């Protein structure tokens, strides 16, 4: 049960990240493999703010006043984290606009590595040893549930914002950039502006994810925000379907749960290895083979369904009539 | 009294029309563009009066598409002046020029393939939609009203272009002729005063191109459009255009009414005489 609540919280944090990334990569078509960098900026900003505003407010003898103060500190941390991350989105977005495809990917990767290196070397951020984040909002038995609620609200908020943006003229402008940048700008879309909007928006949501993560975990380690995390997030977006938010959600949940379930099940597969004494039978835990399975899933997907699991299908199609006409009165 | 009002109204409209007819919507002077050593366009002058329908013809590689790319701001001219609707648009980014009322189609169709037919047209309305990102995120009234209006206008355009029953389909799934029509519908959504059409009937059969001609004529009247069109189909150009400009080797070699162009020896030598279909044919030879 405890574990289940933890997993829900973690998946919700991931959803904030992949929701934003699906905007940057899925809709605008900008290949970013540095999304964990924005997440790190959010998390460390939040950690820093909480450390400043609420160092151990929630010790055993916490009063009602200090409890309230710790909630306020968390709120401030969320705001600062989102601002800091979107500022980074702006900083990365603007110079990278002229880059496309692979070059943009490398630039975003470079950004996230710079962030990581800065954190490792900054003493005020805990360096390589990591940063402790004092508990805020509440302590004790209910804490898990409170944070699961906060994370779920954050994920719902993120996905709602992404959906609202996408179904507006601004969202259509973003998608048109992915489809044909030239036609898009010749139709009156300010391509430069919208690419930056996309980066800033996605980064802000990653900042939110970072703040929730920092307050929930109580401890931040630089290695959590490495390159592999960015790749994992990107795979969730790609696997779910480049144009489908529903697909992104499903893929995020699936790609988180499958390796966790494998670890939990402790299944192992027999392997044979050649030693001095000839072939020997051993075994490897399936969970450790996950990356191999991952790769196989991806290759099969790319061969059979390059547009991703759901393509551009959205769950809302179940209740929206196709070919809906606004003037279908007569 | 009603009559008098109607007469007055009629007079004032015709007065406005006259004014509009005289109004020079586009004036281009000494436009030139080189790619490295290649002079794709040089010494190009063009004046379009509001409401005119002008054809731009010339052999392959004459620089026609390059002229469109210069007018729309997609290429920066090497030199020259472009005044559009009274503004100096030289050096402006394409999306700004679109806002001033210029829209175009492309020689090689450039639709947003994975977007629906409807959304393709809606992107055309984008720069005329004035709610902000915050309005969209919070689903404010401005968002709802504006989206309803866009949906309605999109419906009207799709009806006009006989694409209404395809509205939900991805653009890439349309047959070729309909893709061409959709591209024009999308350009019309941008609310142009000047519409640039790059080979609108390329690859269409006779009856399709006749239908399109009727549609273009209708658009021109209904939307008060000025049109500049590139076309290889000489018959089409002669039928629809009031004035024709002939480009060869990046320079204007003739301009005038269809009849004048038909009998102009330079044109016959450079273009009509070459058969007009051999790629890089007579035009290149004539220019040397
Ligand atoms: N971006 C570019 N870079 C280099 N050269 C170019 C570029 N665009 C056009 N050109 C050259 O400029 C010349 C004119 O090309 P343009 O496309 O304008 O011809 P066109 O009249 O539209 O021909 P067509 O009838 O084949 O469409 C050609 O020689 C072409 O190779
Ligand atoms: Mg051309």
What is the set of domains in chain B, with CATH numbers? 1-101+192-288 (3.40.50.300), 115-191 (no CATH)
- Please give, rounded to a whole number of angstroms, the shortest distance from the CA of A159 to a CA of chain B: 11
Crossing angle for the helix pair A169-179 and A191-217, to the nearest 10 degrees: 110
How many whole angstroms separate alpha carbon B66 and alpha carbon B35?
10
Residue with tokens 């790749």: A231
How many whole angstroms separate alpha carbon A156 and alpha carbon A217?
20
Interacting residues of B83 by C-beta distance below 8 A, sequence separation 6+ = B24, B26, B27, B28, B89
Gap from CA of B63 to ligand 1 centroid (Å): 5
Residue with tokens 């005038």: B256
Instruction: Residue A100: name the closest of A216, A181, A219 by CA.
Output: A181
**pLDDT tier, A319 (very low <50, low <70, confident <90, very high otherwise):** low
Better pLDDT: A90 or A31: A90
CB B129 within 8 Å of CB B146: yes
Residue A163, pLDDT score: 92
Burial of A96 (0-12, 13-18, 19+ CB in 10 A): buried
Interface test with A, best of B94, B99, B100, B146 (most A CBs within 10 A): B94
Pure H helices in chain A: 2-21, 35-53, 64-96, 102-121, 143-166, 169-179, 181-186, 191-217, 227-240, 245-265, 290-304
How many whole angstroms separate alpha carbon B219 and alpha carbon B213?
10
Per DSSP, which regions of B58-173 are E strands? Answer: 79-84, 87-88, 102-104
Task: Find the CB nearest A169 among B98, B126, B148.
Answer: B126
Q: What is the ipTM of this complex?
A: 0.83
**Phi and psi dihedrals of B116, rounded to 5?**
-70, 165
**pLDDT tier, A292 (very low <50, low <70, confident <90, very high otherwise):** confident
Residue A321, pLDDT score: 54
Better pLDDT: B15 or A178: A178
Q: What is the average pLDDT across B2-7?
A: 45
**pLDDT tier, B71 (very low <50, low <70, confident <90, very high otherwise):** very high
CB contact under 8 A, B110 and A172: no
- For residues A301, A303, A306, A309, the Cα torsion angle rounded to the nearest 10 degrees is -30
Residue with tokens 């239908």: B211
Question: pLDDT, tens digit, for every residue of B173-204?
Answer: 999 989 999 999 999 999 999 999 999 988 88
Return the ligand 1 atom nearest residue B199 CA: 27
**Mean of per-residue pLDDT scores for chain B:** 84
Question: pLDDT, tens digit, for every residue of B142-155?
Answer: 999 999 999 999 99
Residue A274, pLDDT score: 81
Residue with tokens 């006259």: B18
Q: Mean pLDDT: which of A137-146, B28-37, B275-284 is highest?
A: B28-37
A30-39, B47-56, B273-282: least confident range? B273-282
How many whole angstroms separate alpha carbon A118 and alpha carbon A122?
6
Question: pLDDT, tens digit, for every residue of B205-232?
Answer: 888 888 999 999 999 988 989 999 998 8
Name all residues whose Cβ lies below 6 A of ligand 1: B 35, 38, 40, 58, 60-66, 107
Gap from CA of B28 to ligand 1 centroid (Å): 19
Question: pLDDT, tens digit, for every residue of A211-241?
Answer: 999 999 889 998 889 888 898 898 888 888 7
CB contact under 8 A, B190 and A187: yes
Residue A59, pLDDT score: 64
Question: Could you tell me the sign of the dihedral formed by the alpha carbons of B167, A325, B123, A159, in that order?
Answer: negative
């Amino acid at each position: 049960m405890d574990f289940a609540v933890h997993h829900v919280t973690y998946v919700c944090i991931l959803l904030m990240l992949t929701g934003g990334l699906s905007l940057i990569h899925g809709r605008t078509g900008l290949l970013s493999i540095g999304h964990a960098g924005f997440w790190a900026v959010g998390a460390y900003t939040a950690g820093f703010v909480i450390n400043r505003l609420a160092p151990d407010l929630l010790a055993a003898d916490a009063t009602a006043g200090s409890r309230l103060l710790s909630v306020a500190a968390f709120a401030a941390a969320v705001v600062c984290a989102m601002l800091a991350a979107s500022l980074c989105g702006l900083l990365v977005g603007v110079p990278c606009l002229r880059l496309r495809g692979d070059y943009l990917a490398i630039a975003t990767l470079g950004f996230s590595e710079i962030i990581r290196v800065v954190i490792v070397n900054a003493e005020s951020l805990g360096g390589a040893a990591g940063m402790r984040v004092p508990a805020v909002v509440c302590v004790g038995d209910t804490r898990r549930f409170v944070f699961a609620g906060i994370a779920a609200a954050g994920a719902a908020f993120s996905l709602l914002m992404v959906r609202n943006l996408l179904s507006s003229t601004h969202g259509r402008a973003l998608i048109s950039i992915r489809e044909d940048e030239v036609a898009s700008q010749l139709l009156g879309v300010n391509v430069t502006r919208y690419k930056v909007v996309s980066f800033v928006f996605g980064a802000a949501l990653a900042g939110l994810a970072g703040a929730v993560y920092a307050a929930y975990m109580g401890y931040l380690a630089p290695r959590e925000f490495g390159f592999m995390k960015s790749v994992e997030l990107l795979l969730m977006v790609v696997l779910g379907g480049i144009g489908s938010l529903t697909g992104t959600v499903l893929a995020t949940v699936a790609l988180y749960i499958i390796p966790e379930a494998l670890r939990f099940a402790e299944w192992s597969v027999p392997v044979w290895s050649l030693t001095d004494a000839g072939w020997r039978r051993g075994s490897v835990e399936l969970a450790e083979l996950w990356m191999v399975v991952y790769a196989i899933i991806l290759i099969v997907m790319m061969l059979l369904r390059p547009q991703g699991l759901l393509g551009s299908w959205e769950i809302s199609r179940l209740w929206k009539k196709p070919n809906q006409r606004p003037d279908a009165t007569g | 009294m009603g009559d008098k009002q109607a007469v007055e109204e009629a007079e004032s409209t015709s007065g406005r029309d006259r004014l509009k007819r005289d109004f020079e919507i586009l004036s281009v002077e000494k436009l030139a563009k080189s790619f490295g050593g290649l002079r794709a366009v040089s010494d190009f002058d063009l004046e379009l009066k509001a409401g005119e329908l002008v054809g731009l013809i010339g052999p392959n590689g004459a620089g026609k598409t390059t002229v469109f790319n210069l007018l729309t701001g997609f290429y920066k001219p090497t030199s020259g002046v472009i005044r559009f609707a009274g503004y100096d648009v030289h050096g402006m980014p394409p999306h700004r020029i679109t806002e001033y009322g210029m829209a175009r189609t492309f020689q090689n169709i450039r639709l947003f393939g994975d977007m629906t037919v409807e959304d393709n047209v809606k992107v055309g309305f984008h720069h005329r939609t004035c709610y902000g990102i915050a309005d969209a995120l919070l689903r404010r009234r401005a968002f709802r009203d504006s989206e309803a209006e866009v949906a309605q206008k999109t419906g009207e355009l799709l009806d006009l272009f006989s694409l209404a029953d395809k509205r939900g389909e991805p653009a890439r799934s349309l047959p070729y002729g309909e893709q061409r029509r959709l591209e024009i519908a999308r350009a019309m959504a941008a609310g142009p005063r000047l519409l640039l059409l790059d080979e609108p009937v390329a690859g269409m059969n006779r009856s399709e191109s006749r239908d399109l001609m009727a549609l273009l004529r209708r658009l021109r009247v209904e939307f008060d459009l000025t049109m500049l069109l590139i076309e290889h189909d000489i018959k089409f150009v002669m039928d629809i255009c009031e004035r024709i400009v002939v480009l060869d080797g990046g320079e204007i070699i003739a301009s005038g009414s269809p009849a004048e162009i038909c009998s102009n020896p330079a044109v016959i030598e450079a273009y009509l005489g070459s058969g007009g279909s051999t790629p890089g044919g007579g035009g290149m030879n004539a220019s040397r």
